[in-house]
């Protein structure tokens, strides 16, 4: 069952009344297929299926995509399907299990400064054990990253290959939000402020700490922390009207969440959860804990949420302002119809068009929706309006 929570009251909706799956028509040509959704007829075009476990995507001003591959490669992908050689200058990564080269985002002022930001699993210094999420930036000149510098390193280095979080998104004020994971076996660290496990961080693009971060000057607290009590946040989007950060967060077995992280707030993990451990054992008997914030929306069972966008383009006018959430296990995109912050309805999109784990979702400069799939032969898929 799905659950939609919002202030001042919580609402539980039956799954049968929420879902309307896309219906797929016959393929129109070799790389295209169409589907009818509640509001639009859509066409899926596979641009390429030659990406190795792609993880993140962002668009350059000329319309090319920058795509990370988890083994440690950054590539340009043209909309004609041409994939560049590996871009040089990418930092070394720990490529194991959930670790590797993860998200990519270009600077809001990229046309003036050429900065590209990458998140990745960074190894500990030689002679030490463990790894952590790090963020580096470099200037993209031709097919090279130059002036590369690390602007954030998660503390501490930890011996785990899971739950790196790792989405990057810029606020309207120019802050860089970095979403992090609890590193799985260190879940209790999500409730303490002397580490980055299970946190969302807010910094300036050069790595400086904003003076008005909520824990600046607090004893035993890292000043970069924005919010805490998170499990594994792998989606982040800025609301186009309010400018606030919304995130998607993996629950355990059940309890995937949407949260609206606000300064200094505690989002409960692992003291409160709507899920259980993967073997069915109880992590916490509590779904509500005083002093913690309830999820804005959650799923039981989990759909394995990845990234999310607020759609603002012109290709799909009836989806403008909706939150689109990509899913791994469910191999779909969940469209949440919003009224203000309130979720009014959910529709399942693209299930039969994609049929692979969807690792990232992005809106292109042309207003189309782009998906990348988590596969050894990962795809870049364009979703466009079939009626145009």
Q: How many CA atoms lie within 13 A of 76 on its CB side?
A: 19
What phi and psi values does residue 214 have, to the nearest 5 degrees? -65, -25
The three-state secondary structure class of 3 is: strand
Q: Which of 386, 329, 328, 338 is nearest to 358 (CA)?
A: 328
Q: Which of 358, 360, 359, 333 is nearest to 347 (CA)?
A: 333
Catalytic residue at 163? yes
Sheet holding 342-349, edge to edge: 305-310, 323-327, 333-339, 342-349
CB distance 374 to 360 below 8 Å: no
The three-state secondary structure class of 189 is: helix
| DSSP output for 251-310 | -SBS-EEEE---TT-B--TTTS-S-B-TTS--S-S-S--TTSPPPSEEESS---EEEEEE
Q: Which of 187, 186, 346 is nearest to 258 (CA)?
A: 346
| DSSP output for 7-39 | SS-EEEE-HHHH----EE---SBTTEEEEE-SS
Rg (CA), the chain: 20
Query: What span, in angstroms and rounded, lies between the C-alpha atoms of 194 and 183?
Result: 15
CB distance 324 to 335 below 8 Å: yes
The catalytic residue among 3, 163, 197, 296 is: 163
Q: Which two three-digit tokens encode residue 234? A: 């792998």
Token pair 């596969």 is at which residue?
A: 375
Question: Which residues are marked as active site?
Answer: 163
């Amino acid at each position: 069952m799905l659950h939609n929570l919002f202030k001042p009251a919580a609402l539980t909706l039956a799954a049968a009344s929420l879902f309307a799956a896309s219906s797929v028509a016959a393929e129109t040509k070799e790389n295209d297929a169409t589907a009818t959704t509640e509001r639009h007829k859509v066409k899926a075009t596979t641009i390429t299926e030659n990406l190795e476990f792609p993880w993140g995507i962002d668009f350059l001003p000329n319309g090319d995509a920058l795509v990370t591959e988890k083994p440690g490669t950054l590539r340009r992908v043209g909309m004609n399907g041409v994939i560049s050689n590996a871009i040089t200058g990418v930092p070394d990564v720990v490529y194991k299990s959930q670790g590797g080269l993860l998200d990519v985002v270009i600077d809001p002022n990229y046309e003036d400064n050429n900065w590209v930001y990458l998140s990745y699993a960074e190894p500990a210094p030689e002679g030490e054990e463990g790894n952590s999420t790090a963020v580096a930036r470099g200037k993209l000149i031709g097919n090279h990253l130059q002036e590369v510098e690390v602007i954030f390193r998660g503390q501490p280095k930890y011996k785990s290959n899971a739950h790196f979080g790792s989405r990057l998104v810029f606020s309207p004020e120019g802050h860089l939000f970095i979403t992090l994971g609890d590193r799985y076996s260190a879940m209790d660290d999500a409730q303490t402020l002397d580490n980055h496990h299970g946190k969302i961080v807010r910094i300036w693009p050069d790595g400086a700490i904003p003076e008005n971060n909520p824990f600046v000057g607090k004893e035993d607290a890292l000043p970069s922390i924005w919010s805490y009590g998170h499990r594994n946040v792998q989606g982040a989007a800025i609301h186009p009207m309010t400018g606030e950060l919304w995130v998607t967060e993996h629950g355990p077995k059940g309890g995937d969440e949407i949260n609206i992280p606000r300064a200094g707030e505690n989002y409960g993990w692992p003291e409160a959860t709507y899920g259980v451990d993967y073997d069915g054992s109880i992590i916490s008997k509590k779904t509500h804990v005083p002093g913690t914030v309830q999820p804005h929306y959650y799923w039981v069972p989990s759909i394995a949420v990845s990234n999310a966008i607020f759609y603002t383009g012109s290709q799909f006018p009836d989806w403008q302002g909706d939150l689109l959430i990509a899913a791994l296990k469910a191999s779909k995109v969940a469209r949440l119809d919003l009224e203000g912050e309130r979720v009014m309805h959910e529709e399942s999109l693209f299930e039969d068009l994609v049929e692979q784990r969807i690792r990232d979702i992005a809106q292109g400069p042309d207003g189309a929706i782009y998906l990348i799939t988590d596969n050894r032969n990962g795809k870049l898929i364009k979703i466009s309006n079939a009626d145009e």
